[in-house]
């Protein structure tokens, strides 16, 4: 029997092991559009079934791109560039040309200058060793910037194949669904979800007789917050709407808690503003540094939430990273959660995040 792939996630359909990827009951094979049980449950009940894939399995699949010719479209989540940019992309995709796309523009504050963000993306990619043909900003979900990007893809692919790659959850499948819907009117062709690791294999979307566009499984980056929180908390910390910056004026020896998932201590420096960019659903608490440990100990999961109980059970302890901020207009980035912009340098802070989650500094995006 020829291999049949699930139309929703790209897994090879099998009818023997319900715990494995691509399982569908034998009766489903008679239908015209075959989707696996996992996609069915994701679509209709928003429930995800874990499948026994290793992180390396996906890397191996992507590595096939280096042996073929095609245009690589790397999507990043503009809200989590540091977490979602794949620095070792060249190893996976070889010498193929790359277009860099910042997705989820709809969650950035409206005041953001697109030209500046593009510049910033291009420079950041270069600093991370990736030369790109072009940079585009889109909102896959809101169908913004898609036409311009499609034109660029058509120009750069030179009648060849296109591979849409990126970290899990950056919106690859949503982007391809928008492309499909714009050209054929068919909605939600591929399965998407807010759980990382939705797409499990290459999904072939024919462009013409000779070439195809491929959706691919996301690269799993273990330092992203998404891997440490419960499904409910993941939904809460992922911004769905334009993020409203919240400004706090702090004196030294004051602390901000981002729910109970991260903490920022202002150790030393002149009174300064801290502009917080996090999901609007996340509550920020200000307290005195000397009281912070106790507040956390007594109120994590209650006043300081998320984390909820499910997250607390698997969350590694918070770990502090002391950072000397020299430059003006610096972002302190909590990978997968958001960032705090500090307008003036010359201060010292300690950023606490669950052990394993990355904290970094960058030139301010906004």
Q: Which of 173, 230, 272, 335 binds Mg ion (CB under 5 A)?
A: 173
Cα(34)–Cα(55) distance, integer angstroms: 26
Q: Please, which of residues 233-252 interact with Mg ion by CB under 5 A?
A: none
Identify which range of 27-35, 62-70, 138-146, 290-298 contacts ligand GTP by CB under 6 A.
138-146
Give the integer Cα–Cα distance in Å for 239 and 277: 10
- Select 220 or 250, whichever has its Cβ closest to ligand GTP: 220
Q: Which stretch binds ligand GTP (CB under 6 A): 13-21, 100-108, 120-128, 355-363?
A: 100-108
If binding is defined by CB under 6 A, does position 174 make contact with ligand GTP?
A: yes
Question: Applying CB under 5 A, does 341 fall inside the site for Mg ion?
Answer: no
For residue 103, state whether it binds ligand GTP (rule: CB under 6 A): yes
- Residue with the two structure tokens 């023997």: 16
Residue 3: count of CB within 10 angstroms of its CB: 8
d(CA 245, CA 103): 19
Nearest-angstrom CA–CA distance, 66 and 58: 14
Which residue in 167, 177, 193, 199 binds Mg ion (CB under 5 A)?
A: 199
Size of the site for ligand GTP (CB under 6 A): 26
Choose the one of Mg ion, ligand GTP, none that binds residue 103, judging by a C-beta under 5 to 8 angstroms depending on kind.
ligand GTP
**Of 124 and 199, which has the nearer Cβ to Mg ion?**
199
Strand blocks (E) in 296-366:
318-325, 330-334, 338-342, 347-354, 359-363
Q: Does 230 sit near ligand GTP (CB under 6 A)? A: no
Tokens standing for residue 265: 């201590």
Q: At what angle do helices 146-157 and 172-184 cross, to 10 degrees?
A: 90
Which residue sits closest to ligand GTP, CB atoms considered? 218
Nearest-approach distance from CB 21 to ligand GTP, in angstroms: 13
Nearest approach in angstroms of CB 342 to Mg ion is: 35
Question: Cα–Cα distance between 215 and 209 in angstroms, integer?
Answer: 18
Residue of 232, 281, 315, 205 whose CA lies nearest to 48: 232
d(CA 123, CA 187): 35
Residue 84 interacting entry, from Mg ion, ligand GTP, none, C-beta within 5 to 8 Å by type: none
Determine, following the binding rule CB under 6 A, whether residue 106 of this chain makes contact with ligand GTP: yes
Nearer to ligand GTP by C-beta: 10 or 70?
A: 10
Which of ligand GTP, Mg ion, none is residue 5 near (CB under 5 to 8 Å by kind)? none
Tell me the DSSP string of 251-274. -TTEEEEETTTEEEEEEESSSEEE
Piece of 142-150, 195-203, 272-280, 288-296 that binds Mg ion (CB under 5 A): 195-203
- Is the Cα dihedral 218, 221, 222, 224 positive or negative? negative
Minimum Å gap between C-beta 75 and ligand GTP is 7
What would the two tokens of residue 96 be? 């193929």
Which residue, 194 or 202, has its beta carbon nearer to ligand GTP?
194
Q: What's the token pair of residue 230?
A: 């419960």
What one-character DSSP code corresponds to residue 19? Answer: T
- Phi, psi dihedral angles at 135 (to 5 degrees): -125, 135
Q: Of the listed pieces 13-21, 23-31, 162-170, 280-288, which binds ligand GTP according to CB under 6 A? A: 162-170
Tell me which stretch binds ligand GTP (CB under 6 A): 41-49, 161-169, 289-297, 340-348: 161-169
In whole angstroms, how close is the CB of 198 to Mg ion at the nearest point? 5
In whole angstroms, the minimum distance from the beta carbon of 177 to Mg ion comes to 9
Contacts of 30 (CB under 8 A, 6+ apart): none
User: Can you give the binding site for Mg ion, defined by CB under 5 A?
Assistant: 172-173, 198-199
């Amino acid at each position: 029997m020829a291999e049949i792939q699930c139309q929703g996630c790209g897994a090879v359909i099998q009818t023997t092991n319900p715990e494995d990827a691509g399982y569908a009951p034998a009766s489903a094979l008679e239908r015209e559009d075959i989707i696996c049980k996992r996609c069915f449950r994701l679509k209709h009940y928003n429930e995800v079934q874990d499948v026994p894939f290793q992180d390396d399995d996906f890397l191996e699949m992507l590595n096939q791109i280096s042996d073929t010719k095609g245009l690589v479209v790397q999507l990043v989540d503009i809200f989590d560039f540091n977490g979602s940019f794949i620095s070792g992309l060249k190893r996976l995709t070889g010498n193929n040309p790359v277009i860099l796309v910042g997705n989820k523009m709809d969650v950035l504050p409206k005041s953001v200058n697109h030209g500046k963000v593009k510049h910033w993306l291009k420079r950041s990619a270069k600093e991370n060793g990736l030369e790109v043909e072009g940079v585009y900003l889109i909102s896959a979900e809101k169908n913004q910037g898609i036409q311009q990007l499609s034109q660029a893809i058509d120009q750069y692919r030179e009648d060849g194949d296109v591979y849409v790659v990126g970290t899990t959850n950056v919106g690859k499948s949503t982007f391809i669904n928008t492309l499909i819907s714009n050209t054929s009117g068919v909605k939600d062709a591929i399965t998407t979800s807010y759980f990382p690791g939705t797409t499990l294999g290459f999904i072939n979307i024919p462009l013409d007789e000779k070439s195809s566009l491929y959706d691919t499984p996301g690269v799993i980056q273990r330092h992203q917050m998404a891997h440490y929180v419960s499904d409910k908390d993941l939904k809460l910390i992922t911004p769905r709407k334009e993020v409203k910056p919240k400004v706090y004026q702090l004196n030294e020896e004051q602390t901000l808690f981002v729910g109970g998932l991260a903490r920022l201590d202002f150790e030393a420096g002149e009174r300064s503003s801290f502009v917080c960019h996090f999901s609007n659903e996340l509550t920020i608490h200000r307290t005195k540094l000397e009281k912070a440990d106790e507040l956390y100990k007594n109120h994590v999961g209650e006043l300081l939430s998320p984390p909820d109980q499910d997250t607390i059970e698997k969350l590694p302890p918070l770990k502090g990273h002391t950072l000397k901020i020299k430059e003006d207009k610096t972002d302190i980035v909590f990978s997968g959660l958001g960032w705090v912009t500090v307008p003036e340098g010359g201060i010292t802070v300690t950023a606490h995040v669950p052990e394993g989650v990355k904290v970094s500094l960058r030139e301010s995006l906004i």
